[in-house]
């Protein structure tokens, strides 16, 4: 008898009125495991074979799944695996940072399909939103030229920018981007694109990307420690992204740390912005990132000095999130140059003792995830895909995806 394959999947429900949730369960199971037969899906999701068959037929009609060649062999009946159709849905993501914006389109599997980047006028969200809308139009045109009908399959527009959100701050506060926060950004972009628009902070966006195609793929409990201009934490709790009551969950960059008798926010001492300041670099230019990458790769003593202090603070931050959230793992992710990220990751060890130290661990306490200047934009684009297709409790309350 053939051994049953271990399949990662959430349970569906065979009760009436739950087709939206069950569709999401089927899509996620195939995304996590690759092509699966109807029998595999029924066993993994605990749905009846008839329910699975009905769902697969509907997903085929919608262009979201497709059958592969029949698999023959063994003692069982021949089976037909089903795969996700990458071109079945697309989404667009926008990263808004202090000096630039990145726009990217991804397919149903979270893979990049088109991109554009441009500088933003400093502190001017009115003109900046015009730049963003133009880039979105450019990406949509590129997508439509390459993939027929793609413009009709867009699930939405995801936006990511630094938080925290909803707080009053001076208009020249470079950390909080106060003018952008007081601007009707989502309404402007939604009206200009005709797409449903959602907002995340940059740390949560990176966690979204890690959950779809990175180190958090398949994990139900993970904290993504974001290293960019600032610092944040994207929280994956109980298999879902947790953003808090105001979208500000995980803003650990604002937690006060003490070092050498000085108390200051974590992101003022362990972020890329703090490193730029330490090196006397202008963060408004890409030269700053290039310089940091070069200095980190050549073991510059100024980098070593910053690493020592930043690693000590981040070591404490990891201990804090392990104690508070009890994750399966903490993942270092973000937009830092890869040589710097690798050196910082190594410098953080050994970790402080915490309740995460237990025998039989199958996932390391701390791991290096995606470090890519486009990570935030990709995560922003993955958010509409997640909202449309991931199994979440709210999907049980409505019939349509």
* Contact predicate 49/38, CB 8 Å: yes
Q: At what angle do helices 38-45 and 19-33 cross, to 10 degrees?
A: 110
State residue 282 phi and psi, 5-degree precision.
-90, 115
pLDDT in tens, 305-335: 999 999 999 999 999 999 999 999 999 999 9
Domains of the chain listed by start with CATH number: 19-84 (1.10.10.10), 89-206+378-389 (3.30.420.40), 207-371 (3.30.420.40)
3-class DSSP assignment, residue 124 = coil
Strands of 221-309, DSSP E: 222-227, 231-237, 240-242, 256-259, 262-265
Q: In the predicted model, is pLDDT for residue 220 greater than 80?
A: yes
User: How much is the mean pLDDT over the chain?
Assistant: 89
Sheet with strand 100-107: strands edge to edge: 112-119, 100-107, 90-96, 154-161, 197-201
pLDDT at residue 172, as a whole number: 57
At 287, the pLDDT band (50, 70, 90 cuts) reads confident
The neighbour count for residue 299, using CB atoms within 10 Å, is: 10
DSSP of 350-369 = SPPP-TT--TT-SS-SEEEE
**pTM across the whole model:** 0.88
Region 267-276 average pLDDT: 93
pLDDT in tens, 127-160: 999 999 999 999 999 998 888 765 568 999 999 9
Cα distance between residue 13 and residue 286, in whole Å? 50
* Contact predicate 317/226, CB 8 Å: no
Cα distance between residue 322 and residue 185, in whole Å? 34
Cα distance between residue 345 and residue 341, in whole Å? 6
pLDDT at residue 34, as a whole number: 93
pLDDT in tens, 297-308: 998 999 999 999
pLDDT in tens, 165-208: 887 765 556 667 888 988 999 999 999 999 999 999 999 999 99
Q: In the predicted model, is pLDDT for residue 12 greater than 60?
A: no
């Amino acid at each position: 008898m053939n051994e049953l394959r271990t399949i990662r999947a959430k349970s569906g429900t065979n009760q009436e009125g739950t087709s939206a949730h069950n569709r999401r369960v089927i899509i996620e199971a195939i995304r996590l495991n690759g092509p699966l037969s109807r029998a595999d899906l029924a066993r993994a999701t605990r749905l009846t074979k008839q329910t699975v068959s009905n769902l697969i037929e509907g997903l085929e009609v919608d262009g979201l799944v497709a059958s592969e060649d029949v698999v023959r062999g063994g003692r069982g009946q021949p089976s037909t695996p089903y795969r996700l159709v990458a071109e079945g849905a697309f989404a667009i993501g926008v990263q808004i940072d202090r000096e630039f914006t990145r726009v990217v389109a991804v397919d149903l599997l979270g893979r990049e399909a088109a991109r554009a980047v441009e500088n933003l006028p400093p502190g001017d969200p009115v003109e900046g939103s015009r730049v963003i809308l133009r880039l979105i139009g450019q990406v949509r045109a590129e997508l439509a030229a390459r993939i027929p009908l793609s413009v009709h399959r867009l699930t939405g527009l995801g936006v990511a920018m630094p938080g925290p959100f909803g707080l009053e701050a001076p208009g020249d506060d470079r950390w909080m981007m106060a003018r952008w926060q007081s601007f009707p950004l989502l309404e402007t972009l939604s009206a200009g694109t005709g797409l449903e628009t959602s907002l995340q902070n940059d740390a949560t966006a990176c966690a979204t990307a890690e959950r779809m195609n990175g180190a958090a793929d398949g994990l139900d409990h993970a904290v993504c420690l974001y290293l960019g201009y600032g610092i944040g934490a994207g929280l994956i709790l109980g298999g879902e992204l947790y953003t808090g009551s105001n979208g500000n969950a995980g803003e650990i960059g604002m937690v006060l740390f003490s070092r050498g008798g000085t108390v200051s926010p974590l992101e003022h001492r362990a972020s890329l912005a703090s490193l730029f300041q330490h090196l006397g670099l202008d963060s408004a230019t890409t030269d700053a990132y290039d310089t940091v990458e070069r200095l980190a790769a050549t073991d510059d003593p100024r980098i070593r000095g910053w690493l020592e202090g930043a690693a000590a603070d981040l070591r404490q931050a990891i201990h804090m999130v392990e104690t508070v959230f009890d994750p399966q793992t903490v993942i270092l992710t973000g937009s830092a140059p890869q040589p710097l990220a690798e050196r910082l990751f190594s410098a953080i060890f050994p970790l402080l003792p915490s309740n995460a130290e237990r025998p039989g661990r199958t996932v390391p306490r701390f791991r290096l995830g995606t470090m890519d200047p486009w990570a935030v934009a990709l995560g922003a684009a993955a958010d509409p895909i997640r909202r449309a297709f991931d199994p979440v409790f709210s999907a049980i309350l409505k019939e349509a995806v």
